[in-house]
Structure 1
Amino acid sequence: MTIDWRHTIEQELGILSVAGYLGPDAVRRFTGAIGWVVARGSGPVVLDLTELRGWSAEGQLAITEAARRLAGSGRGLELAAIPADGSLVPTADCPDIPVHCDLDAALAAHGRGPVPEGQQEWRTDGWPA
């Protein structure tokens, strides 16, 4: 099982939404999505996990590695709507990863409302309608 993703840019705030299960089979695709985000933005990134059904230990490690990669580019990673089956436990050398209860709360923390339609967006073909 793999994941699908959608990346939206809203005034220098990147939003990477992920759907599916972030397990060992999906880590490579997730890492590719992070590469896409790094190449197409300059501000902080909110990882929206609203449509994520769950994650494995490998998936959680991929998220902490994404935080490191973004920090290396001078950008931060924040999480919105983490799966109910556990919390992310980053390693000691991982940058701080703020966690928000949902995407609206993450956007509000940046002084923004809901993402308007028509924003610049990239996504996988399987992104849920």
Structure 2
Amino acid sequence: MTFHWRHYRRDPIEILSLSGHAGLSVSDLVTATVAERLTHGDRLLVIDLTEMAGWGYTGRAAIVEAVRHLSAHRRVMLCPPRDKLTLWALQHSDLTVEMCADIDAALSRAEQEPAAKEG
């Protein structure tokens, strides 16, 4: 299974959706392409990991580092993976992100915020 990522907007948020398998070959892709490309922005960025099917150690570490990098530069909300080990790694990595069950819940939360309606 391969790794896929998709970036799109669904007002008032941006969504980074990751799916597939995060193995050894993913770490450079996540770091160089995904994290660097999305570092700056004024919209809430929702990182959706719900469709991730598998994790290797280096892929897990790369995604945790990408979430850390992105959350240091902009507001990030995370739709966590079903994988309990990766969820644990994300929860215990001193990340400053909000957790939301899925994209619809993140969108609902973002629409309820006054700042999202003003911008």
Residue 81 of structure 2 is matched in structure 1 by 82
Cα distance in 1, alignment partners of residues 79 and 92 from structure 2: 21
Residue 16 of structure 2 is matched in structure 1 by 16
Contact 2:13 2:44 in 1 (8 A): yes
3-state DSSP of counterpart to 2:82: coil
Residue 96 of structure 1 is matched in structure 2 by 96
Structure 1 outlier segments of 4+, above 4 Å: none
Q: Which runs of 5+ in 1 are unaligned?
A: 113-129
Report which structure shows greater RCO (CA 8 Å, sep ≥6). 1
Contact 1:64 1:94 in 2 (8 A): no
Aligned residue pairs, count = 110
Cα distance in 1, alignment partners of residues 88 and 77 from structure 2: 11
Residue-by-residue CA offset, 1:24-49 (whole Å, 9 max, x unaligned)? 2212112211222225x322211112
Residue 54 of structure 1 is matched in structure 2 by 54
Q: How many angstroms does 1:83 deviate by?
A: 2.3
**Distance verdict in 2 for CA 1:50–1:71, change over 3 Å:** closer
Which has the larger share of helix? 2
Residue 44 of structure 2 is matched in structure 1 by 44
CA RMSD between the two structures: 2.6
Residue 125 of structure 1 is matched in structure 2 by none
The TM-score, its normalising length taken from structure 2, stands at: 0.71
Q: Which runs of 5+ in 2 are unaligned?
A: 113-119
Cα distance in 2, alignment partners of residues 95 and 51 from structure 1: 21
Cα distance in 2, alignment partners of residues 16 and 49 from structure 1: 9
Cα distance in 2, alignment partners of residues 81 and 71 from structure 1: 15
Contact 1:47 1:80 in 2 (8 A): yes
**Distance verdict in 2 for CA 1:76–1:88, change over 3 Å:** farther
